[in-house]
Amino acid sequence: MMSEKTLYERLGGYDAIVAVVNDLLPRLTADSQLGRFWQHRGEDGLKREKQLLIDFLCASAGGPLYYTGRDMKTSHKGMRISERDWQLFLGHVVATLNAFRVPEKEMNEVRTFIESTKSDILDD
């Protein structure tokens, strides 16, 4: 029996995940409510954050990358991310995945994974 491919492989690997991040981040930073999280950030910091996001997504989807960043709770602490922010973020994620025509099975797996990080990201 052939073992099932990882989500990383089914999404298209590193280049596909980079393409998704390249589509998602401009959506988030241009959002009238969410853009505040990226204001006053230097270019180098933004590039580093983008690479950490790519590494995190690749590693989380079963890819051969190792995520070296801080855990979600630590890296989002004090950002005052609300439920409304979270819902806006999810909307952008879905729009990005739809733009890349990600199949429903993989879309659901990505959403399930993202939802699993919610309690560490939101300020209660």
pLDDT digits (tens, 9 = 90+) for 6-57: 999 999 999 999 999 999 999 999 999 999 999 998 999 999 999 999 999 9
- With 80 as the cut, is the pLDDT of residue 124 above it? no
* CA triple 27-121-100, angle to 5 deg: 35
Query: What residue spans define the domains of the chain?
Result: 11-121
Which superfamily does 11-121 belong to? Globins (1.10.490.10)
Please tell me the predicted confidence (pLDDT) of residue 31: 97
Prediction pTM value = 0.91
C-alpha span between 16 and 19 (Å, rounded) = 5
Going by C-beta distance under 8 Å and a sequence separation of 6 or more, which residues neighbour residue 108? none
